[in-house]
């Protein structure tokens, strides 16, 4: 038997994902600031690309939180 859809803690999970993503993004930016002259251009590009994907994920997480908030107010 399938479990019912329990959305009560979705916003909390999404907020945890946002916090973790921001932390990872900031750590990567700090790493680039500190070691950019010591790493290869390929590694620098890979980190920058990953951070761009993280920014996109943050936008998506925030959008999901808005959707969840609207759903809970129904």
What percentage of the chain exceeds 90 in pLDDT? 73
What percentage of the chain exceeds 70 in pLDDT? 88
Distance, in Å, from the CA atom of 28 to the CA atom of 8, rounded to the nearest integer, reads 32
CA atoms within 13 A on the CB side of 63: 6
How much is the pLDDT for 74? 65
Note whether 51 and 63 are within 8 A (CB).
no
Does 46 have pLDDT greater than 80?
yes
Q: What's the length of the chain?
A: 74
**Which contacts (CB < 8 Å, 24+ apart) does range 34-40 have?**
none
Q: Where are the domains of the chain?
A: 14-19+42-74
Does 6 have pLDDT greater than 70?
no
Does 71 have pLDDT greater than 90?
no
2 vs 71, higher pLDDT: 71
């Amino acid at each position: 038997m399938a479990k019912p859809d329990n959305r009560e803690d979705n916003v909390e999970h999404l907020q945890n994902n946002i916090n973790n993503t921001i932390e990872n993004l900031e750590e990567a930016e700090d790493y680039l600031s500190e070691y950019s002259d010591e790493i290869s251009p390929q590694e620098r590009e890979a980190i920058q690309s990953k951070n761009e994907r993280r920014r996109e994920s943050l936008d998506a997480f925030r959008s999901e939180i808005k959707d969840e908030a609207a759903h809970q107010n129904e």
